[in-house]
Amino acid sequence: APSAPPPTSSTVVPPSLPPYFIKGSIIQLADGELKRVEDLKTEDFIQSAEISSELKIDSSTVERIEGSHTSPNFAVVQFSVGEHRAQVSVEVLVEYPFFVFGQGWSSCCPDRTTQLLELPCTKLSVGDVCISLTLKNLR
């Protein structure tokens, strides 16, 4: 009998690119500082999360990247999230950027990201550790 999908939680990111990923977009950090999206560093996210009373940075390691059944414009990225290595899959546009620790913006198709958003971007690969958020009180 065909097996059911593994018990992962799945989050579908809206099928449009949010405006804040466009090069030059102004981002406000938790301490009020304003930075352009392309100038953000790993420390900006970490420090903002430390200030936040609700949000916590988690390390999400890319475990698998595959094409979506929905559309060739989409990819399914499977992450191992946090210390418990919970499996989470997200379906995103191939140009959707993720922030990789110590590296910066990366996407499944960096050429398209750069073309559409002008956001400097590298190729997202299996083993990359991305920044993600969870609630501090989520256990």
Partner 1 sequence: NVEPRSVPVFPWHSLVPFLAPTQSD
12, 23, 50, 52: residue in contact with partner 1 (rule CB under 8 A): 52
Q: Which residue has the tokens 């405006």?
A: 19
Sign of the Cα pseudo-torsion (130, 136, 137, 139, in order): positive
| Total site size for partner 1, rule CB under 8 A | 45
Residue 43's identity, in one-letter code, is E
End-to-end CA distance of the chain: 35
61, 63, 65, 86: residue in contact with partner 1 (rule CB under 8 A): 86
5, 6, 14, 19: residue in contact with partner 1 (rule CB under 8 A): 19
Q: Which residues contact 90 (CB under 8 A, 6 or more apart)?
A: 10, 11, 12, 13, 76, 77, 79
Residue closest to 46 by CA, chosen among 130, 131, 136? 131
Q: Are 11 and 90 in contact (CB under 8 A)?
A: yes
Closer by beta carbon to partner 1, 48 or else 113: 48
Run of H or E including 41: none
Interaction between residue 103 and partner 1 (CB under 8 A): no
Interaction between residue 74 and partner 1 (CB under 8 A): no
1, 3, 14, 84: residue in contact with partner 1 (rule CB under 8 A): 84
Segment interacting with partner 1, rule: CB under 8 A, options 33-41, 64-72, 109-117, 121-129: 33-41
Q: Are 121 and 107 in contact (CB under 8 A)?
A: yes
Interaction between residue 65 and partner 1 (CB under 8 A): no
| Binding footprint of partner 1 on the chain (CB under 8 A) | 7, 9, 11, 13, 18-21, 25-30, 34-37, 40, 44-45, 48, 52, 55, 57-58, 60, 79, 81-82, 84, 86-88, 90, 98-99, 130-135, 138-139
